Structure 1
């Protein structure tokens, strides 16, 4: 039986939101308060999911592309096991050329289908800006390290993705000094402090955040679920980071730190939402990023186990000046080919929380 999700919101990071409503096997795509497209989703025996326009629709390609992309996202997100979503060749005829040119669909003989492993590498529904993706490669030196010149740091919204099992969107935005009070409260939470060791006065946290905002290789971010701030994230270019000397770093490797400041967002349903969403955001931000790395404490067994379930491989153990760490790594190919944006159909295999990844 086909699974229902109503409504499914897409494209919020871009400022051009689209909603997909479902009634049985019928999908209605709504933008600017009006129904733009009507489609039918069927489950055909032996042939998987099949999507077609309701007759006699023949959509204009310029108007329909965002709508059908939203429908593709909704179907693949609510059916993570689907390896293909078949498209009716007749009703998608006017869109086929655009869809295949963008990698949103592929031809298989006479058939036309969406391959989710390609769909989820397209940035438009999720990223607010394409600046980093298009930024030219130019080698520069900073701090005695040779690395590509980095693009301007983002401001405002960065990424948003609707999570079916929460019925809300996970989003990331660039942190500002207006977030100091929130960060100050979170850093002084005993659970967070046990991992980060950054408890202290507000002035300390203001200086800490200001330093990261000014650092060209670090991007501090606030994560929200349903618009409510729940956690603080730091993403960085590994080539310029203190981690670089400890492994064979590549030019576009990315790393990350996280603290979950609000205790009610520390459960498994939330981890399975924000963790793959953050990895998705990093891979989308620059197609040259092939690896995402992390360096949790080497003795945090449960944390490492949960990272492994999320696709990270443990590479080795090494000594930072401040801790004994495990180097973990997630490959782009594994993330997309194994459809890890929706681990285990949306929920992790273990009820334990991931915990904190300290800086």
Structure 2
């Protein structure tokens, strides 16, 4: 299984390979042919993990890799009970492990594990961007962090056997692709943004200058297949229609490549997109969307990913369904692998 928990920030990750020798009662992991960790597994009121050997140069990475492997192979597993001969303060400080009731016992909780920002994000977070309230176009909201550039999220989807990744849209690189996608009759029916290259350049230029919207390209195995807009809801047109919090994020979604349509692909990219937005700022408590109310297929896909429909409402250009997914619900029911 591909893995690299220590890729250099702001660089294309050099993905290595994690191999396992596993059975019902043991798991041994090697990374690039070098032993990483060995554990004994005991099934008793959950999965109990007894550490037998660990790479001394990178113990936290080794613990992370074992947690990742065990949680990914069983999406129903909500907790790992670790038995460690000595404390792991860095793993506890990061949230990877939580002290248990007995000495030497630590818990890895699925809901916490998938909230760790690395290695999923494309850059290491130095901390949460400071808050300063401001008013723009009559709306009071926090100052937004500068937009990232390049790849912002990458994860190996074990169900698909493929990498799902998100990168920022680059106009010169992506304009023709965006134009082709928007002029697809299937897409145009819902987006109503068909037009010329010049019109689409103007559309994307405007969004590039807009601090409240981030334009993204979705990729499977580095092949672009979709366009997403992630926006801060507080200063968006959706804000008057529900009580938007300061760090709510909203999404617009477009799958342009026919080969990457279908429920199994939606489950992969939609969960990745939501995962990225919740990791991008831990203050984000909700992700919202407003698909056309008659887009039953998309609404159904969103229900499958734990969104709920709060209500229907009227924009000037469409009847919309307000779809909401809370952070707690997403991570409590997290089936990422």
Normalised TM-score (structure 1) = 0.85
The match for 2:138 is: 144
The match for 1:126 is: 120
- 1:174 Cα deviation (Å)? 0.6
Specify which of 261, 273, 276 is matched with residue 278 of structure 1: 273
Matches within 5 A, 1:48-59: 48-55=46-53, 57=54, 59=56
CA root-mean-square deviation:
2.0
Specify which of 96, 103, 107 is matched with residue 99 of structure 2: 107
Verify: 1:169 aligned to 2:170, yes or no.
no
**CA–CA separation in structure 1 for the residues paired with 2:199 and 2:22:** 55
Change (3 A) 1:80 1:133: farther
- 1:22 Cα deviation (Å)? 1.6
Matches within 5 A, 1:260-275: 260-275=255-270
- 1:176 Cα deviation (Å)? 0.8
SS of equivalent residue, structure 1 residue 40: strand
**CA–CA separation in structure 1 for the residues paired with 2:50 and 2:266:** 34
Verify: 1:39 aligned to 2:31, yes or no.
no
SS of equivalent residue, structure 1 residue 276: helix
SS of equivalent residue, structure 1 residue 151: coil
SS of equivalent residue, structure 1 residue 134: coil
- 1:265 Cα deviation (Å)? 0.8
Q: Gapped runs of 5+ residues in structure 1?
A: 1-6, 343-359
Normalised TM-score (structure 2) = 0.90
**CA–CA separation in structure 1 for the residues paired with 2:127 and 2:192:** 35
**CA–CA separation in structure 2 for the residues paired with 1:58 and 1:20:** 14
SS of equivalent residue, structure 2 residue 156: strand
**CA–CA separation in structure 1 for the residues paired with 2:256 and 2:302:** 19
Specify which of 165, 185, 193 is matched with residue 188 of structure 2: 193
Specify which of 12, 17, 22 is matched with residue 20 of structure 2: 22
**CA–CA separation in structure 2 for the residues paired with 1:29 and 1:113:** 23
- 1:154 Cα deviation (Å)? 0.4
**CA–CA separation in structure 2 for the residues paired with 1:279 and 1:273:** 10
Matches within 5 A, 1:1-359: 7-11=1-5, 14=9, 15=13, 17-25=15-23, 26-30=27-31, 33-35=32-34, 37-40=36-39, 42=41, 44-55=42-53, 57=54, 59-60=56-57, 63-90=58-85, 93-94=86-87, 96-110=88-102, 111-130=105-124, 134-177=128-171, 178-341=173-336
CA contact (8 A) 2:35 2:55 kept: no
Change (3 A) 1:10 1:267: farther
The match for 1:352 is: none
**CA–CA separation in structure 2 for the residues paired with 1:27 and 1:195:** 49
SS of equivalent residue, structure 2 residue 284: coil
Q: Gapped runs of 5+ residues in structure 2?
A: none
**CA–CA separation in structure 2 for the residues paired with 1:41 and 1:299:** 52
**CA–CA separation in structure 2 for the residues paired with 1:133 and 1:98:** 17
Count of aligned pairs between the two proteins? 327
Structure 1, 206-215 or 236-245: larger mean CA deviation: 206-215
